[in-house]
A and B are shown apart, each in its own frame.
Chain A
Protein backbone atom coordinates (compact mmCIF):
# COMPACT_ATOMS: atom_id res chain seq x y z
CA UNK A 1 0.00 0.00 0.00
CA UNK A 2 2.74 2.41 -0.94
CA UNK A 3 0.96 4.33 -3.67
CA UNK A 4 -0.26 6.96 -1.25
CA UNK A 5 -2.70 9.63 -2.25
CA UNK A 6 -4.55 11.98 -0.02
CA UNK A 7 -7.47 12.43 -2.37
CA UNK A 8 -10.83 10.86 -3.12
CA UNK A 9 -12.37 11.35 0.27
CA UNK A 10 -16.13 11.22 0.22
CA UNK A 11 -15.96 14.60 1.93
CA UNK A 12 -14.00 16.53 -0.70
CA UNK A 13 -13.31 19.33 1.80
CA UNK A 14 -11.17 16.80 3.67
CA UNK A 15 -9.05 16.37 0.50
CA UNK A 16 -8.59 20.14 0.39
CA UNK A 17 -7.67 20.38 4.05
CA UNK A 18 -5.01 17.68 3.78
CA UNK A 19 -3.67 19.17 0.56
CA UNK A 20 -3.44 22.56 2.22
CA UNK A 21 -1.51 21.14 5.17
CA UNK A 22 0.83 19.35 2.80
CA UNK A 23 1.46 22.36 0.57
CA UNK A 24 1.89 24.68 3.57
CA UNK A 25 4.50 22.30 4.92
CA UNK A 26 6.31 22.39 1.59
CA UNK A 27 6.20 26.19 1.59
CA UNK A 28 7.63 26.23 5.07
CA UNK A 29 10.33 23.80 3.91
CA UNK A 30 11.19 26.15 1.05
CA UNK A 31 11.33 29.11 3.40
CA UNK A 32 13.64 27.26 5.78
CA UNK A 33 15.93 26.18 2.93
CA UNK A 34 16.20 29.81 1.89
CA UNK A 35 17.02 30.84 5.48
CA UNK A 36 19.81 28.30 5.64
CA UNK A 37 21.23 29.32 2.29
CA UNK A 38 21.15 33.03 3.16
CA UNK A 39 22.65 32.51 6.61
CA UNK A 40 25.59 30.60 5.17
CA UNK A 41 26.02 33.19 2.42
CA UNK A 42 25.96 35.97 5.03
CA UNK A 43 28.97 34.32 6.70
CA UNK A 44 30.96 33.50 3.61
CA UNK A 45 30.29 36.89 1.96
CA UNK A 46 30.53 38.81 5.24
CA UNK A 47 27.12 40.28 4.40
CA UNK A 48 25.69 41.71 7.61
CA UNK A 49 22.61 43.04 5.87
CA UNK A 50 21.67 39.57 4.69
CA UNK A 51 22.33 38.23 8.19
CA UNK A 52 19.89 40.80 9.61
CA UNK A 53 17.27 39.73 7.09
CA UNK A 54 17.63 36.08 8.08
CA UNK A 55 17.20 37.02 11.76
CA UNK A 56 14.09 39.03 10.99
CA UNK A 57 12.54 36.40 8.75
CA UNK A 58 12.76 33.73 11.47
CA UNK A 59 9.54 35.13 12.95
CA UNK A 60 7.79 34.21 9.72
CA UNK A 61 8.97 30.62 10.02
CA UNK A 62 7.66 30.48 13.60
CA UNK A 63 4.27 31.74 12.46
CA UNK A 64 4.15 29.10 9.74
CA UNK A 65 4.77 26.42 12.35
CA UNK A 66 1.88 27.66 14.48
CA UNK A 67 -0.49 27.92 11.53
CA UNK A 68 0.25 24.43 10.23
CA UNK A 69 0.03 22.93 13.70
CA UNK A 70 -3.33 24.57 14.22
CA UNK A 71 -4.58 23.26 10.87
CA UNK A 72 -3.51 19.75 11.92
CA UNK A 73 -5.32 20.02 15.26
CA UNK A 74 -8.45 21.18 13.44
CA UNK A 75 -8.32 18.25 11.04
CA UNK A 76 -8.00 15.84 13.96
CA UNK A 77 -10.91 17.49 15.75
CA UNK A 78 -13.16 17.70 12.71
CA UNK A 79 -12.34 14.60 10.69
CA UNK A 80 -10.91 12.08 13.14
CA UNK A 81 -8.44 10.95 10.48
CA UNK A 82 -7.44 7.28 10.39
CA UNK A 83 -4.73 5.17 8.80
CA UNK A 84 -2.65 7.05 6.18
CA UNK A 85 -4.55 10.31 6.81
CA UNK A 86 -3.78 10.07 10.51
CA UNK A 87 -0.15 9.23 9.84
CA UNK A 88 0.14 12.24 7.53
CA UNK A 89 -1.31 14.65 10.07
CA UNK A 90 0.81 13.31 12.93
CA UNK A 91 3.94 13.32 10.76
CA UNK A 92 3.29 16.90 9.66
CA UNK A 93 2.99 18.13 13.24
CA UNK A 94 6.35 16.49 13.98
CA UNK A 95 7.90 17.76 10.75
CA UNK A 96 6.95 21.40 11.35
CA UNK A 97 8.70 21.23 14.72
CA UNK A 98 11.86 20.06 12.96
CA UNK A 99 11.55 22.73 10.29
CA UNK A 100 11.11 25.39 12.95
CA UNK A 101 14.25 24.17 14.70
CA UNK A 102 16.13 24.31 11.40
CA UNK A 103 14.92 27.91 11.13
CA UNK A 104 16.28 28.58 14.63
CA UNK A 105 19.66 27.12 13.71
CA UNK A 106 19.75 29.29 10.58
CA UNK A 107 19.03 32.29 12.77
CA UNK A 108 21.89 31.32 15.09
CA UNK A 109 24.21 31.05 12.10
CA UNK A 110 23.09 34.51 10.98
CA UNK A 111 23.85 35.92 14.44
CA UNK A 112 27.34 34.48 14.27
CA UNK A 113 27.66 35.96 10.79
CA UNK A 114 27.03 39.38 12.34
CA UNK A 115 29.72 38.83 15.00
CA UNK A 116 32.21 37.55 12.45
CA UNK A 117 31.55 40.43 10.11
CA UNK A 118 32.05 42.93 12.91
CA UNK A 119 35.38 41.42 13.90
CA UNK A 120 36.80 42.02 10.46
CA UNK A 121 37.50 39.83 7.44
CA UNK A 122 39.30 36.54 7.89
CA UNK A 123 38.84 33.43 5.77
CA UNK A 124 39.75 31.09 8.61
CA UNK A 125 37.29 28.17 8.87
CA UNK A 126 35.13 29.31 5.94
CA UNK A 127 36.12 26.33 3.82
CA UNK A 128 34.80 24.00 6.49
CA UNK A 129 31.58 25.97 6.78
CA UNK A 130 31.08 26.04 3.03
CA UNK A 131 31.77 22.34 2.66
CA UNK A 132 29.48 21.27 5.48
CA UNK A 133 26.77 23.73 4.43
CA UNK A 134 26.73 22.21 0.98
CA UNK A 135 26.11 18.68 2.27
CA UNK A 136 23.54 19.92 4.78
CA UNK A 137 21.61 21.89 2.14
CA UNK A 138 21.63 18.81 -0.02
CA UNK A 139 20.28 16.51 2.69
CA UNK A 140 17.61 19.07 3.56
CA UNK A 141 16.56 19.40 -0.06
CA UNK A 142 16.49 15.61 -0.49
CA UNK A 143 14.41 15.10 2.61
CA UNK A 144 11.91 17.75 1.54
CA UNK A 145 11.73 16.16 -1.91
CA UNK A 146 11.09 12.78 -0.33
CA UNK A 147 8.33 14.38 1.76
CA UNK A 148 6.79 16.06 -1.28
CA UNK A 149 6.65 12.79 -3.19
CA UNK A 150 6.01 10.54 -0.18
CA UNK A 151 8.99 8.53 -1.34
CA UNK A 152 10.11 6.26 1.51
CA UNK A 153 12.98 4.76 -0.47
CA UNK A 154 14.45 8.17 -1.19
CA UNK A 155 13.96 9.05 2.48
CA UNK A 156 15.90 5.96 3.57
CA UNK A 157 18.75 6.82 1.19
CA UNK A 158 18.80 10.40 2.46
CA UNK A 159 18.85 9.20 6.07
CA UNK A 160 22.17 7.51 5.41
CA UNK A 161 23.67 10.77 4.15
CA UNK A 162 23.45 12.14 7.67
CA UNK A 163 26.24 9.79 8.69
CA UNK A 164 28.55 11.50 6.21
CA UNK A 165 27.55 14.86 7.64
CA UNK A 166 28.41 13.69 11.14
CA UNK A 167 31.81 12.60 9.87
CA UNK A 168 32.37 15.88 8.05
CA UNK A 169 31.37 17.70 11.22
CA UNK A 170 33.98 15.87 13.26
CA UNK A 171 36.62 16.55 10.63
CA UNK A 172 35.70 20.25 10.63
CA UNK A 173 35.98 20.36 14.42
CA UNK A 174 39.45 18.87 14.26
CA UNK A 175 40.50 21.45 11.67
CA UNK A 176 39.11 24.27 13.76
CA UNK A 177 40.92 23.07 16.87
CA UNK A 178 44.14 23.07 14.85
CA UNK A 179 43.55 26.72 13.87
CA UNK A 180 43.10 27.66 17.49
CA UNK A 181 46.26 25.87 18.54
CA UNK A 182 48.22 27.49 15.75
CA UNK A 183 47.02 30.98 16.54
CA UNK A 184 45.45 31.54 19.97
CA UNK A 185 44.39 35.06 18.92
CA UNK A 186 41.89 33.43 16.58
CA UNK A 187 40.12 31.54 19.36
CA UNK A 188 37.20 33.98 19.56
CA UNK A 189 36.50 33.86 15.84
CA UNK A 190 37.03 30.15 15.52
CA UNK A 191 34.67 29.50 18.43
CA UNK A 192 31.99 31.32 16.45
CA UNK A 193 32.73 29.14 13.46
CA UNK A 194 32.49 26.12 15.74
CA UNK A 195 28.98 27.13 16.77
CA UNK A 196 28.12 27.56 13.11
CA UNK A 197 29.29 24.06 12.14
CA UNK A 198 27.49 22.74 15.20
CA UNK A 199 24.27 24.38 13.92
CA UNK A 200 24.83 22.89 10.50
CA UNK A 201 25.27 19.45 12.01
CA UNK A 202 22.03 19.91 13.98
CA UNK A 203 20.22 20.87 10.78
CA UNK A 204 21.40 17.58 9.29
CA UNK A 205 19.83 15.78 12.27
CA UNK A 206 16.53 17.59 11.77
CA UNK A 207 16.56 16.74 8.06
CA UNK A 208 17.07 13.13 9.10
CA UNK A 209 14.01 13.41 11.33
CA UNK A 210 11.99 14.60 8.33
CA UNK A 211 13.03 11.45 6.47
CA UNK A 212 11.91 9.30 9.40
CA UNK A 213 8.49 10.92 9.17
CA UNK A 214 8.27 10.13 5.45
CA UNK A 215 8.90 6.47 6.28
CA UNK A 216 6.23 6.69 8.99
CA UNK A 217 3.66 8.10 6.58
CA UNK A 218 4.36 5.63 3.82
CA UNK A 219 5.17 2.42 5.67
CA UNK A 220 3.53 3.06 9.03
CA UNK A 221 6.78 2.21 10.77
CA UNK A 222 8.27 4.45 13.40
CA UNK A 223 12.01 4.18 12.84
CA UNK A 224 13.01 6.92 15.26
CA UNK A 225 15.68 5.84 17.73
CA UNK A 226 16.13 2.56 15.87
CA UNK A 227 19.58 1.08 15.43
CA UNK A 228 21.70 2.29 12.61
CA UNK A 229 19.93 5.64 12.20
Chain B
Protein backbone atom coordinates (compact mmCIF):
# COMPACT_ATOMS: atom_id res chain seq x y z
CA UNK B 1 0.00 0.00 0.00
CA UNK B 2 1.43 3.33 -1.00
CA UNK B 3 1.14 6.05 1.55
CA UNK B 4 1.84 9.51 0.23
CA UNK B 5 2.43 11.71 3.11
CA UNK B 6 3.58 15.27 2.94
CA UNK B 7 3.24 15.81 6.64
CA UNK B 8 6.41 15.77 8.71
CA UNK B 9 7.17 12.46 10.35
CA UNK B 10 7.25 12.90 14.11
CA UNK B 11 10.46 12.08 15.91
CA UNK B 12 8.62 11.31 19.13
CA UNK B 13 6.40 8.30 19.58
CA UNK B 14 3.04 8.85 21.24
CA UNK B 15 1.18 6.59 23.63
CA UNK B 16 2.37 4.10 26.20
CA UNK B 17 5.72 2.75 24.99
CA UNK B 18 6.86 1.53 28.35
CA UNK B 19 5.64 -1.26 30.55
CA UNK B 20 5.99 -1.76 34.29
CA UNK B 21 6.61 -5.46 33.90
CA UNK B 22 8.82 -5.46 30.82
CA UNK B 23 10.22 -8.70 29.47
CA UNK B 24 12.04 -7.05 26.59
CA UNK B 25 13.21 -3.47 26.64
CA UNK B 26 14.39 -1.63 23.57
CA UNK B 27 15.86 1.85 23.90
CA UNK B 28 16.86 4.24 21.12
CA UNK B 29 17.21 1.45 18.60
CA UNK B 30 18.53 2.46 15.18
CA UNK B 31 19.00 -0.14 12.47
CA UNK B 32 20.95 0.35 9.27
CA UNK B 33 21.30 -1.67 6.08
CA UNK B 34 24.63 -0.36 4.86
CA UNK B 35 24.11 3.40 4.52
CA UNK B 36 20.38 3.17 4.56
CA UNK B 37 18.67 3.62 7.89
CA UNK B 38 15.65 1.39 8.36
CA UNK B 39 14.73 2.08 11.99
CA UNK B 40 14.98 5.45 13.75
CA UNK B 41 15.20 5.86 17.53
CA UNK B 42 12.67 3.25 18.53
CA UNK B 43 12.09 2.76 22.25
CA UNK B 44 9.59 0.15 23.33
CA UNK B 45 8.87 -2.36 26.09
CA UNK B 46 7.17 -5.69 25.63
CA UNK B 47 5.56 -6.85 28.86
CA UNK B 48 5.56 -10.27 30.45
CA UNK B 49 2.88 -12.48 28.85
CA UNK B 50 1.91 -9.66 26.59
CA UNK B 51 0.94 -10.00 22.94
CA UNK B 52 2.41 -7.01 21.14
CA UNK B 53 1.25 -6.43 17.58
CA UNK B 54 3.39 -4.42 15.20
CA UNK B 55 1.58 -2.95 12.25
CA UNK B 56 2.39 -0.51 9.50
CA UNK B 57 2.68 -0.22 5.73
CA UNK B 58 5.21 -2.29 3.77
CA UNK B 59 8.73 -1.04 4.24
CA UNK B 60 7.96 0.68 7.54
CA UNK B 61 10.58 -1.40 9.33
CA UNK B 62 8.37 -3.52 11.55
CA UNK B 63 9.88 -6.82 10.39
CA UNK B 64 13.38 -5.41 10.61
CA UNK B 65 12.66 -4.35 14.16
CA UNK B 66 11.15 -7.73 15.04
CA UNK B 67 14.18 -9.56 13.67
CA UNK B 68 16.51 -7.46 15.77
CA UNK B 69 14.87 -8.91 18.87
CA UNK B 70 16.58 -12.28 18.45
CA UNK B 71 19.46 -11.11 16.30
CA UNK B 72 18.15 -12.62 13.10
CA UNK B 73 19.57 -9.51 11.47
CA UNK B 74 23.08 -10.79 12.24
CA UNK B 75 22.78 -13.03 9.23
CA UNK B 76 22.13 -10.11 6.89
CA UNK B 77 25.25 -8.63 5.32
CA UNK B 78 25.71 -4.94 6.19
CA UNK B 79 22.97 -4.82 8.80
CA UNK B 80 23.94 -2.83 11.86
CA UNK B 81 21.93 -2.43 15.07
CA UNK B 82 22.64 0.51 17.39
CA UNK B 83 20.95 1.09 20.73
CA UNK B 84 19.93 -1.13 23.61
CA UNK B 85 17.93 -4.31 23.24
CA UNK B 86 17.61 -6.22 26.48
CA UNK B 87 15.67 -9.18 27.78
CA UNK B 88 15.15 -9.32 31.54
CA UNK B 89 17.87 -6.69 31.79
CA UNK B 90 20.41 -8.68 29.81
CA UNK B 91 21.94 -6.97 26.75
CA UNK B 92 21.12 -9.15 23.74
CA UNK B 93 23.90 -7.61 21.66
CA UNK B 94 26.59 -8.42 24.19
CA UNK B 95 29.47 -9.97 22.22
CA UNK B 96 29.79 -12.75 24.80
CA UNK B 97 26.19 -13.80 24.38
CA UNK B 98 25.58 -17.18 22.76
CA UNK B 99 23.33 -16.38 19.80
CA UNK B 100 22.15 -19.97 19.41
CA UNK B 101 21.00 -19.99 22.99
CA UNK B 102 19.36 -16.59 22.52
CA UNK B 103 17.33 -17.88 19.59
CA UNK B 104 16.10 -20.72 21.76
CA UNK B 105 14.97 -18.21 24.37
CA UNK B 106 13.48 -15.93 21.73
CA UNK B 107 11.88 -18.22 19.19
CA UNK B 108 10.62 -17.22 15.80
CA UNK B 109 7.79 -18.23 13.50
CA UNK B 110 7.98 -17.06 9.91
CA UNK B 111 5.54 -16.00 7.26
CA UNK B 112 5.77 -19.23 5.32
CA UNK B 113 5.70 -22.44 7.29
CA UNK B 114 9.19 -23.89 7.01
CA UNK B 115 9.28 -27.34 8.60
CA UNK B 116 12.51 -29.28 8.25
CA UNK B 117 12.37 -32.05 5.63
CA UNK B 118 12.11 -34.55 8.46
CA UNK B 119 9.38 -36.33 10.34
CA UNK B 120 6.86 -34.44 12.43
CA UNK B 121 8.49 -35.91 15.54
CA UNK B 122 12.00 -34.88 14.52
CA UNK B 123 10.89 -31.36 13.64
CA UNK B 124 9.83 -30.83 17.23
CA UNK B 125 12.56 -32.96 18.83
CA UNK B 126 15.43 -31.29 16.98
CA UNK B 127 15.70 -28.20 19.19
CA UNK B 128 15.44 -29.97 22.56
CA UNK B 129 18.07 -32.47 21.33
CA UNK B 130 20.68 -29.93 20.31
CA UNK B 131 20.06 -27.83 23.40
CA UNK B 132 20.30 -30.93 25.61
CA UNK B 133 16.88 -30.42 27.15
CA UNK B 134 16.02 -34.13 27.16
CA UNK B 135 17.95 -36.70 29.12
CA UNK B 136 16.20 -39.72 27.74
CA UNK B 137 14.00 -40.84 24.93
CA UNK B 138 11.03 -40.74 27.31
CA UNK B 139 11.81 -37.12 28.17
CA UNK B 140 12.00 -36.29 24.50
CA UNK B 141 8.69 -38.01 23.78
CA UNK B 142 7.13 -35.95 26.52
CA UNK B 143 8.51 -32.70 25.20
CA UNK B 144 7.30 -33.54 21.68
CA UNK B 145 3.83 -34.42 22.90
CA UNK B 146 3.42 -31.40 25.16
CA UNK B 147 4.74 -29.02 22.49
CA UNK B 148 2.36 -30.43 19.90
CA UNK B 149 -0.46 -30.19 22.39
CA UNK B 150 0.37 -26.57 23.19
CA UNK B 151 0.37 -25.87 19.46
CA UNK B 152 -3.08 -27.55 19.21
CA UNK B 153 -1.71 -30.06 16.72
CA UNK B 154 -1.36 -33.22 18.79
CA UNK B 155 -4.78 -34.72 18.05
CA UNK B 156 -4.28 -34.25 14.32
CA UNK B 157 -0.81 -35.82 14.12
CA UNK B 158 -0.44 -38.24 17.03
CA UNK B 159 -0.96 -41.24 14.75
CA UNK B 160 1.54 -40.14 12.14
CA UNK B 161 4.40 -38.65 14.10
CA UNK B 162 6.96 -40.32 11.89
CA UNK B 163 5.62 -39.09 8.63
CA UNK B 164 7.29 -36.05 7.02
CA UNK B 165 6.26 -32.64 8.38
CA UNK B 166 6.11 -31.31 4.85
CA UNK B 167 3.15 -33.61 4.20
CA UNK B 168 0.90 -31.58 6.48
CA UNK B 169 -1.45 -28.83 5.31
CA UNK B 170 -0.21 -25.23 5.40
CA UNK B 171 -2.02 -24.43 8.63
CA UNK B 172 -0.79 -27.63 10.27
CA UNK B 173 2.76 -26.92 9.08
CA UNK B 174 2.58 -23.48 10.68
CA UNK B 175 1.38 -24.98 13.95
CA UNK B 176 4.21 -27.52 13.65
CA UNK B 177 6.65 -24.61 13.37
CA UNK B 178 5.06 -23.08 16.48
CA UNK B 179 5.43 -26.44 18.27
CA UNK B 180 9.06 -26.51 17.17
CA UNK B 181 9.59 -23.01 18.55
CA UNK B 182 7.99 -23.77 21.90
CA UNK B 183 9.75 -27.15 22.29
CA UNK B 184 12.92 -25.41 23.44
CA UNK B 185 10.96 -23.64 26.15
CA UNK B 186 11.42 -20.07 24.94
CA UNK B 187 10.48 -16.99 26.89
CA UNK B 188 9.49 -14.90 23.92
CA UNK B 189 8.01 -15.92 20.56
CA UNK B 190 8.39 -13.63 17.59
CA UNK B 191 5.92 -14.10 14.76
CA UNK B 192 6.46 -12.50 11.39
CA UNK B 193 3.13 -12.52 9.57
CA UNK B 194 2.42 -16.07 10.70
CA UNK B 195 -0.94 -16.31 8.96
CA UNK B 196 -0.36 -14.55 5.68
CA UNK B 197 0.01 -17.84 3.81
CA UNK B 198 -2.95 -19.49 5.52
CA UNK B 199 -6.66 -19.77 4.81
CA UNK B 200 -9.19 -18.22 7.23
CA UNK B 201 -9.80 -21.45 9.13
CA UNK B 202 -6.10 -22.12 9.69
CA UNK B 203 -5.71 -18.44 10.56
CA UNK B 204 -8.44 -18.66 13.18
CA UNK B 205 -6.71 -21.68 14.72
CA UNK B 206 -3.39 -19.86 14.92
CA UNK B 207 -5.09 -16.82 16.42
CA UNK B 208 -6.76 -18.95 19.05
CA UNK B 209 -3.39 -20.52 19.72
CA UNK B 210 -1.75 -17.11 20.18
CA UNK B 211 -4.32 -16.34 22.84
CA UNK B 212 -3.53 -19.62 24.66
CA UNK B 213 0.22 -19.21 24.27
CA UNK B 214 0.13 -15.77 25.82
CA UNK B 215 -0.58 -17.44 29.16
CA UNK B 216 2.93 -18.86 29.14
CA UNK B 217 4.89 -16.81 26.66
CA UNK B 218 5.51 -13.25 25.64
CA UNK B 219 4.62 -12.74 22.00
CA UNK B 220 5.52 -10.11 19.43
CA UNK B 221 3.64 -10.42 16.16
CA UNK B 222 4.08 -8.52 12.91
CA UNK B 223 0.94 -8.59 10.83
CA UNK B 224 -0.52 -6.96 7.77
CA UNK B 225 -3.99 -7.84 8.90
CA UNK B 226 -5.24 -5.07 11.11
CA UNK B 227 -8.21 -7.14 12.16
CA UNK B 228 -5.77 -9.78 13.29
CA UNK B 229 -3.85 -7.26 15.36
CA UNK B 230 -7.15 -6.07 16.80
CA UNK B 231 -8.17 -9.62 17.68
CA UNK B 232 -5.04 -11.11 19.16
CA UNK B 233 -2.94 -8.39 20.71
CA UNK B 234 -2.96 -6.50 23.98
CA UNK B 235 -0.99 -3.55 22.72
CA UNK B 236 -0.41 -2.37 19.19
CA UNK B 237 2.61 -0.52 17.86
CA UNK B 238 2.26 1.44 14.64
CA UNK B 239 5.42 1.93 12.54
CA UNK B 240 5.73 4.43 9.73
CA UNK B 241 8.84 5.04 7.59
CA UNK B 242 11.12 3.45 10.17
CA UNK B 243 9.71 5.30 13.14
CA UNK B 244 7.52 4.11 15.93
CA UNK B 245 4.57 6.46 15.70
CA UNK B 246 2.23 5.18 18.37
CA UNK B 247 1.94 2.41 20.95
CA UNK B 248 -1.28 2.03 22.83
CA UNK B 249 -3.65 -0.60 24.18
CA UNK B 250 -5.12 -2.35 21.15
CA UNK B 251 -8.71 -1.42 21.92
CA UNK B 252 -7.69 2.22 21.95
CA UNK B 253 -5.70 2.02 18.72
CA UNK B 254 -8.67 0.60 16.83
CA UNK B 255 -11.32 2.89 18.26
CA UNK B 256 -9.55 6.13 19.11
CA UNK B 257 -5.93 6.20 17.95
CA UNK B 258 -3.85 9.02 19.33
CA UNK B 259 -1.88 9.86 16.20
CA UNK B 260 -3.38 10.87 12.89
CA UNK B 261 -0.91 8.71 10.96
CA UNK B 262 -2.19 5.67 12.87
CA UNK B 263 -5.74 6.76 12.16
CA UNK B 264 -4.93 7.12 8.47
CA UNK B 265 -3.42 3.66 8.28
CA UNK B 266 -6.04 1.71 10.18
CA UNK B 267 -8.93 3.40 8.43
CA UNK B 268 -7.33 2.79 5.03
CA UNK B 269 -6.66 6.39 4.06
CA UNK B 270 -3.76 8.10 2.45
CA UNK B 271 -2.19 11.36 3.54
- Interface, chain A (partner B; CB < 8 A): 1, 7-11, 14, 79-87, 220
Contacts and interface: CB of A to CB of B under 8 A. Distances in A.
A84 B257 CA distance: 9
Nearest to B264: A8
A82 B226 contact: yes
Interface in B216-236: 226-227, 230
B255 A87 contact: yes
Given A81-B267, A82-B226, A84-B267, A10 B254 contact: no
Interface string B243-271: 00000000001111111101100111111
B268 A11 contact: yes
Contacts of A87: 255-256
B265 to A, nearest CB: 9
A86 B255 contact: yes
Interface residues of B, number: 20
A7 B260 CA distance: 14
Given A1-B260, A87-B255, A220-B255, A82 B270 contact: no
11 contacts: A1-B257, A1-B259, A7-B269, A8-B271, A9-B268, A10-B269, A14-B268, A80-B227, A82-B230, A82-B266, A87-B255
Interface of B: 1, 226-227, 230, 253-260, 262-263, 266-271
Contacts of B230: 82
Contacts of B263: 1, 83-84
A129 to B, nearest CB: 42
A215 to B, nearest CB: 12
A176 to B, nearest CB: 45
A83 B270 contact: no
B256 A83 contact: yes
A83 B268 contact: no
B123 to A, nearest CB: 35
Contacts of A82: 226, 230, 254-255, 266-267
